[in-house]
Amino acid sequence: MSHDGCHEVAWKGKAFSYLMHHHGFHSTENYGSVRKEGQASGHGHGNQPPASEQPASDVHTRAGTGTWNGPAPRGMRGAAGQAAAPATAPAREPDSVRLSNGARLPMIGLGTAAIQDPEIIKQALELGYRHIDCAWFYGNEQVVGDGLADFIAAGRREELFVVSKVWNTHHRPEDVRRSVEESLGRLRCGHLDLLLMHWPEAWTPGSSWEKPTPDTEVTISQTWAAMEALVDEGKVRSLGVSNFSLKQVEELLSGCRIPPLVNQVELHPLCSQRKLVGVLRRKGVQCVAYSPLGGQGMVKPNELKDHPVVPRVAEQAGKSNAQVLIKWNIQRGVPVIAKTANPARLAENLAGMYDWKLSYEQKEALDAMDAGRRFIDFDWKVWADPEEGGVSKPSVVMGL
């Protein structure tokens, strides 16, 4: 029976802790930052800790809206609140996210594509990188293994979160196993913390990158079952996908035995993919951002780092363009894969990145850049409609 408002609900304080009537309700800075104005006007809900003491990313709170701590609604903030919006400020951001199986995934990872010197890996470890993103296709896992060897030999393997990926020509079950065993042999890390299906496209063994031939003899479910077997054997601890659409992840979730925990996709202010990030989070699948800086121009020219909004926000924040772009994702609870072989940029991309936040206005400016613009795009890839999957917009349902 619905509650008619005349009597206090019987379940008050026992469930739905994200509702404001619950005694354990925890307000994020969306509303907590305007609590004084709210209390003065009769909208307060008890004393809340200062914004500086509250978690900075929605993924670690219980009352966030959207995919990060966005601006409080203008109606709640009031004219005074709008005039006194906070600037970039010191804060302690979470440095990892907890995956659905309990594993901790560091928020800033090292992308290893094109790295050919093991010293870069060693320098990254010294700086504090622990999330190491690899792939069979990169062709350099031996180099990465050389860079990890001393760290692992010192008994510090459990500090690392090592990722590799099953390439498009390895989707047949026997090839899944062979490619993962090859990756483990080259990396020499004992097991993979996360194994991703690199793309949902399957190609026949031996297909070339330039002119791939679709493999019609294998399905995604068959490839996934082979990956699940590697978890059973202890070679892999967690599974995920990469470059999957929302609909494709939903289809995989509906029939798999071990669910995917991660979808690694291109994410930056020009390609925010908010629906994908938000819906998958509610399904227990964590999106991870590759090319958070827009890529290195190897596929398409990078129009992101020098977009007029980015340097303007960077100047306001007193940070570099790259730091602002990385922060944009991690502040909304999305881990990033930052790729560089430059020692100075290795440090820039990580040092102090958890000690400050973008202001509401800076986030709004970056949000407004969204144009669905991808830099990692190929002739053979047909991207799904971003509205497929999840709940459709009313305008789509009504055909407007």
Residue in 18, 31, 129, 138 annotated catalytic: 138
- H helices, E strands: number in the chain: 14, 12
Whole-angstrom CA distances from 283 to 207, 238, 316, 390 are 34, 16, 36, 10
**């730091």: which residue's tokens?**
323
How far is Cα 243 from Cα 381, in angstroms, rounded to an integer? 10
The whole-angstrom distance between residue 141's C-alpha and the CA centroid of its chain comes to: 23
Told to judge if 138 belongs to the known catalytic residues of this protein, a careful annotator would answer yes
Are 130 and 159 a contacting pair, CB within 8 Å? yes
The CA distance from 349 to 341, in Å, is 12
Phi, psi of 170 (to 5 degrees): -115, 25
**Angle made by CA atoms 282, 284, 286, in degrees to the nearest 5:** 95
Q: d(Cα 212, Cα 378) in Å, to the nearest integer?
A: 11
The candidate with the shortest Cα–Cα distance to 123, out of 348, 292, 336, is: 348
Q: Which of the 8 DSSP states describes residue 277?
A: H
Residue 80 falls in which region: left (phi positive, over 0), alpha (psi -120 to 50) or beta: alpha
Separation between Cα atoms, residue 81 and residue 124, nearest integer Å: 42
> What whole-number distance in Å separates Cα of residue 370 and Cα of residue 373?
8
Closest CA to 107 of 343, 287, 281, 340: 287
Alpha-carbon span 8 to 137, nearest angstrom: 60
- Which residues are marked as active site? 138
